[in-house]
Amino acid sequence: MTLQESSSRPVGTEEFDRFFAECRYTAFRLETLQVYDVGYEEEAFRRFLADGEVITTDSHEEWARTVGSGRHFRRVHVVHEPLTDYLRFECVWAYRSNVKAGEDVNILPVGEGSWPEGIPRSDYWLFDSHRLVRMNYTPEGTMLTPELVFDPEEVVRANAIRDRALHQAVPFTEYQGRFDTDMRPL
């Protein structure tokens, strides 16, 4: 067993959901992929591409309840420009409603072929600055399995990355001002 294997373990859906319920103060999400293959978004994504329609789903309402629970939810998404169709959809379909619900959504834009210094190309959730969940995806954006990380050095590093990403990012409300309603550049 390698050090990395012994310092983390897979997390099931129920346990992962419990981390949101048990979170007392803050939750931070770093997103780095340009496409996520999430089953519950399929119909909404298809309709957005077909005619720009934005539909509300149960996941919107559930997330709004979570975010509106008195805790501070923050997110930074590193995005390549020009935006992929999926990122345009995510901004229109998810981020606008997330911000309305109270989530602090931030965007760290980069040009194709570049990446922000000190920010890894991997996703994670950090709950209350001490519970780190590494989000593992295929290159196509399909979730493999989240992993609970026990290594204190990785947890400290995730906090530093969070702070660096937030410092470099711009609030979504400011970022979207550069685009039309469908997130196409003005």
pLDDT over 80 (residue 4): no
Per-residue pLDDT reduced to its tens digit, 118-171: 999 999 999 999 999 999 999 999 999 999 999 999 999 999 999 999 999 999
The pLDDT confidence band at residue 6, using thresholds 50, 70 and 90, is low
CATH class of 3-178: alpha beta
Per-residue pLDDT, 142: 96
Per-residue pLDDT reduced to its tens digit, 44-65: 999 999 998 888 777 778 888 8
In this structure, what token pair is assigned to residue 29?
A: 């999400």
Share of the chain above pLDDT 90, in %: 81
In this structure, what token pair is assigned to residue 34?
A: 């340009």
Higher pLDDT, 73 or 53: 73
Omega of the bond leading into 139 within 30 degrees of 0 (cis)? no
Q: Report the chain's terminal Cα–Cα distance, integer Å.
A: 52
Share of the chain above pLDDT 70, in %: 97
d(C-alpha 62, C-alpha 60), whole Å: 6
Question: Considering the entire predicted model, what is its pTM?
Answer: 0.93
